[in-house]
Chain A
Amino acid sequence: MHVERDFVSLSGKALHDESLGEALDTVASVMPIIRSQALTQLEDFAAARERAREVRDEALNRLDHYLELFEQNVQAMGGHVHWASDDHEACSIVAQLCEEADAKLVTKSKSMVTEEIELAAALEQRGLEVVETDLGEYIIQLRGEKPSHILAPALHVTIPQVIDSFNEHHKINRDRPLEDTDQLLAEARAVLREKFMKADVGITGANFLIAETGGVVVVTNEGNADLTASLPDTHIVVTGIEKVVPTMDDAGLMLRLLARSAIGQRLSNYTSFFHGPRRASDTAGPGAFHVVLVDNGRSNMLGSELQDMLRCIRCSACINHCPVYTAIGGHAYGSVYPGPMGAVLTPGLADLDSARHLPNASTFCGRCEEVCPVAIPIPKLLRHWRKQEFSRHLRPRSERFGLGAWAWINTRPSLYQFVQRVAASILRRLSAQRSDGRWVSQLPGPGAGWTRHRDLQAPAARSFQKQWRERNSGGNT
């Protein structure tokens, strides 16, 4: 899995992008409200969440069993299941299936796993035309970009930019009116409709796989996954091995929590369940049905502290509630999985060396864990990566020295108190009295960055420990 390594410069650039800032402000102000309103519809969200956690743990604790059961059920309906250890293998399998279908045009509905394995690029390299059919994915495909949000991939794109992209890529009369979103939607519908009708292969992801029935569940609001799956003669599902749930009842609970957590709806507009290829009684539908199960680092997370992350159902609630994501957006993370879930998942699926900044892109406010519908302890998992980063000597020498010195001083109480007294005294000397207390407006040396955009409140004249001692010696408790 590819990760851009320059998080620091990308996030700095993102902070100065005004239109991105506006889009992210909308996410931060709207999404938490619609999510919490939708969850109050459930009588007992806490109990539903606990059951959802159990369902996902049950599936992960016996993943081999449920995947084999799923496979048997798909095969019984005439479908095929393929297993891919990594991204290259997954792309080769799909390319081979496209070749067998004698395909020239492939339609795709949005799938984060296909983004992770860079499937579209791999198929294009083999001469296939690949068209993304989710409108947001289509827009960023035209722009040659990666998604900036797992549900709203074109969140960062403005309407004038969409108009420019359509003008550049659609071979339609340039004088046509193309100014408002109604016209944009009508044009996208017409262009993509033609692709849907002509496609030889349709590729979708899966939100869930149901072991009990061999069912593949895909949710969309646009209905593009259904057209992608139903019109071509071959339907290929590409998904991660962790997506399986045991039963339909389990899937039902997940779907309730997914749609509410993601978009504040009771269910997504279209929740589709696919079961194998066309049957004798069908007048239409795909003649071939394939499921490609992708590992790509997931099985190595099983049985470790990171297993909890495999519960993730990609609702994006953690992303929408993250003060870091809603300040810098998705591209800064340099991974197709941004925000808190991405900061845990990316080092697991790629490697910690290239993704080492991501677990540090957190304030540890804990909202991600609080809103997670499957109770993933994201801050704990971020700490896991930070510890790994330190112990594997991935942090710069200066940071390691600083942290080492901090730990050394903190484990020696007398020394700690001495250093604290000296530091407090220096800070108070650097500070000036204002109506609201003493403030340091300019720190020297490495501290200058801190005070460039804000002031630092000066420490109290008497430390907490000193005051505590005085209270106790005075007879107060």
Chain B
Amino acid sequence: MTARDTILANLRQRSIANGETGFQYVRDNFAEVSAALPLERFVALATAESMTVEHLVDLHGVPGAVSRYLRAQQLPEQIVIDTSACLQPDVFSGSGLKVSVPPLMPDHEVLLSGCSGAVAESGALIISTGDGHAIANDFLAETHIVILDSARIFETLGDLWDSLRAEAQGGFMPREFCLVTGPSRTADLGVPAKLGAHGPARVHVLIINGQG
């Protein structure tokens, strides 16, 4: 008998309700309740967890917003752009920004990328593989500027699961998706926690079609 057979046989012998199959889907109704609109809620929670945000009318505003942010942070005006940003590098011509598209980025760089949406209840951005997006870059950058479409802000985690089920390609979830609630942090060097443990020390969100 293989270990698999032995373990499963032991489980079947000991399980209280063995033999039954299938699922009982119970909708998750335990989300935190709020009267605020999803966009307001996401912004309030994300900024409380050390993210920063700027509202833009459309993607045309991105190069200017990126330049402003980098200047304010006193960072070099040099970025790496990911395909998920839905922007071609030529959009940045004339912006004064130096733009590159390497497959995997070195440390101390600024990454501009898109995301799959956000969850208002958790104040979380959803970053995901798919469409050639190298998700590892989202964890390698020291500064992460994320473009978020305000139409993709889910009110609760339950709404996100519904959407993922509906959008599943070939019945599969994205290879990896991650709910990000703020910069990388650690409390292993004491309290208060320090930002920038391994991943981004700064997460700046450009919300498109926001309040302008």
Contact = CB atoms under 8 A, between A and B. Distances in A.
Interface of A: 26, 30, 41-44, 47-48, 51, 58, 60-65, 67-68, 76-77, 83-85, 89, 133-136, 139, 152-154, 159, 162, 181-182, 184-185, 188-190, 192-193, 196-197, 211-213, 215, 221-224, 226-227, 229-231, 241, 246-250, 252-253, 255-256, 263, 265-279, 281-285, 293, 295, 299-300, 302-304
Contact of B130 (A182, A249, A281): A281
A310 to B, nearest CB: 11
A65 B20 contact: yes
Interface string B123-157: 11000011111111011100000000000000001
30 contacts: A43-B30, A64-B18, A67-B8, A152-B187, A159-B189, A189-B107, A189-B197, A190-B107, A197-B104, A221-B184, A221-B187, A223-B184, A226-B176, A226-B199, A229-B176, A256-B30, A256-B31, A256-B157, A267-B122, A270-B181, A272-B177, A275-B175, A279-B175, A283-B134, A284-B104, A293-B7, A295-B7, A299-B14, A300-B10, A300-B14
Nearest to B137: A284
Interface string B150-182: 000000011011001100000111111111111
Given A249-B161, A255-B157, A135 B186 contact: yes
B45 interface: yes
Nearest to A89: B3
Query: Which residue of B18, B31, B187, B191 has the most chain A CB atoms within 10 A of its CB atom?
Result: B187
A162 B32 contact: no
B198 A189 contact: yes
A253 B30 contact: yes
Interface of B: 2-4, 6-8, 10-18, 20-21, 23-28, 30-33, 45, 49, 103-104, 107, 121-124, 129-136, 138-140, 157-158, 160-161, 164-165, 171-191, 193-194, 196-200
Contacts of A76: 171-172
A246 B3 CA distance: 23
Contacts of B191: 26, 30
A248 B164 contact: yes
Given A135-B197, A267-B179, A283-B103, A62 B188 contact: no
Given A249-B161, A252-B157, A193 B107 contact: yes
A58 B180 CA distance: 29
Contact of A84 (B3, B157, B165, B198): B3
B176 A273 contact: yes
A256 B119 CA distance: 13
Given A64-B8, A83-B3, A253-B30, A303 B184 contact: no
A222 B139 CA distance: 9
A428 to B, nearest CB: 50
Nearest to B18: A64
Given A63-B11, A275-B172, A282-B132, A51 B30 contact: yes
Nearest to B180: A270
Q: 7 shortest A-B CB distances, which residue pairs?
A: A223-B199, A303-B14, A136-B188, A249-B28, A222-B197, A252-B157, A83-B4
B24 A221 contact: no
Contact of B173 (A65, A211, A273): A273
B107 A252 contact: no
B190 A181 contact: yes
Contact of B2 (A63, A83, A212, A222): A83
A57 to B, nearest CB: 9
Given A192-B198, A273-B177, A285-B135, A222 B157 contact: no
Query: Which residue of A47, A68, A182, A230 has the most chain B CB atoms within 10 A of its CB atom?
Result: A230
B129 A282 contact: yes
Given A193-B107, A222-B198, A275-B174, A134 B188 contact: yes
Contacts, number: 255
Contacts of B198: 133, 189, 192-193, 196, 222-224, 227
Contacts of B172: 76-77, 213, 275-276
A221 B197 contact: yes
Query: Which residue of B12, B49, B189 has the most chain A CB atoms within 10 A of its CB atom?
Result: B189
Given A30-B191, A252-B158, A61 B185 contact: no
A265 B181 contact: yes
B140 to A, nearest CB: 7
Contact of B178 (A68, A89, A272): A272
Nearest to A218: B178
B8 A266 contact: no
Given A85-B6, A85-B7, A266 B30 contact: no
A255 B138 CA distance: 22
Nearest to A83: B4
A133 B199 CA distance: 12
Contacts of B25: 247, 249
Contacts of B177: 272-273
B180 A285 contact: no
Given A215-B173, A248-B161, A249-B158, A221 B189 contact: no
A334 B161 CA distance: 41
A269 B185 contact: yes
A155 to B, nearest CB: 9
A222 B199 CA distance: 7
B165 to A, nearest CB: 8
B125 to A, nearest CB: 10
Contacts of B21: 65
Contacts of A196: 198
A252 B14 CA distance: 28
B166 to A, nearest CB: 12
A302 B14 contact: yes
B186 A222 contact: yes
A150 B161 CA distance: 29
B124 A154 contact: no
Contacts of B188: 134-136, 139, 152-154
B10 A299 contact: yes
Nearest to B21: A65
Contacts of A85: 3, 6-7
B21 to A, nearest CB: 6
